[in-house]
Amino acid sequence: MDAQRHVNNAVYSTYFETGRVAMFRDPDLGVGVANVTFVLVRAQIDFLRELHWPGDLMVGTALKKFGRRSFVVAQAVFQGEDCAAMGDFTMVTLNKETRQPIPLPDEVIARLSPWTFRGG
């Protein structure tokens, strides 16, 4: 908690990252591709209400949009029924060896497509 006695805004980035990592490392989802990694290049967060400790959280994660070399992940942090924050996170596809952006592999799009956000 910070001086305002709520969870500090910087901690939300960790909550969102935890949600993305859990999704991308899920063996059932299988988005791993040889010699490919995904890196965060843009984060946009809207803070909607305070979070207080202690408490349980849930991070919702879905795919919002696919680009040629990137994709956007839509996420929200909930405490109970209340949405505390939501955001869009742009991930770029990199070659692990060269560290250069590469086109998003079709197999990754196919594996992630079922997780596309369908809400309004």
Tens of each residue's pLDDT in the chain, 120 residues: 555 556 888 889 999 999 998 887 777 766 677 788 899 999 999 999 988 877 889 999 999 999 999 999 999 999 999 999 999 999 999 999 999 999 998 888 888 888 887 765
pLDDT given at position 4: 53
Q: What was the pLDDT predicted at 36?
A: 86
Q: What does the pLDDT read at residue 108?
A: 83
Phi first, then psi: give them for residue 45, nearest 5 degrees.
-120, 135
**Contacts made by residues 91-97, CB under 8 angstroms, sequence distance 24+:** 91/20, 91/38, 91/39, 91/40, 91/41, 92/38, 92/39, 92/41, 93/36, 93/37, 93/38, 93/69, 94/36, 94/37, 94/38, 94/39, 95/35, 95/36, 96/35, 96/36, 96/37, 97/35
For position 77, what pLDDT does the model report?
A: 96
Q: How far apart are CA 54 and CA 87, in angstroms?
A: 23
Q: How confident is the model at residue 33, as a pLDDT?
A: 74
Domains by residue range for the chain, with CATH:
9-115 (3.10.129.10)
| pLDDT of res. 5 | 58
At residue 112, the pLDDT reads 83
Determine the Cα–Cα distance for residues 93 and 105; give it in Å rounded to an integer.
Answer: 9
The pLDDT assigned to 120 comes to: 54
